[in-house]
Amino acid sequence: MIDQKRLIAILLGSLALLIPVGRGMAQKQRTAQATIPFDFWIAGSRLPAGDYRIEHVESTSYIWFRSTDGKIAKDVYTLPLDENPVKESDSKLVFRIQDGKHYLYEGWGPYGRRVVTAESGRPAPSGDNRAEVPLIYH
């Protein structure tokens, strides 16, 4: 049986596929890679430190994290903070640090700045409560 949160995520993802996203759909889909030096959390799931491929799947709002060895995978939904493309040299993942744990908060890349849906109600992390990991696009 599908729980209510999962059903809502599936419905929102399906709806996102039906709505044109302007510039995002016209751009070539790109894959990013990041070396994340700490264990981290994405919307309630813990992922170990390591090398990850990050892909936009079907829409700029649905992102797939996969370890480069293929053993670990996690999807995440995001909301746009803006849709201004970020230069490749400024592309990054931003993590919120709370109680010694790193939570994926947002990503900066070719589709602009996007916040993880599960984090969208929290203030942007800053100072000692923030960690950044650069993204490399291929």
pLDDT values of the chain reduced to their tens digit, one per residue, 138 residues: 455 555 444 444 443 433 344 434 444 567 899 999 999 999 899 999 999 999 987 678 899 999 999 999 999 999 999 989 999 999 999 999 999 999 999 999 988 999 999 999 999 999 999 999 999 987
Q: What is the pTM of this model?
A: 0.78
CA atoms of 53 and 75, how far apart (whole Å):
12
**CA triple 127-78-69, angle to 5 deg:** 85
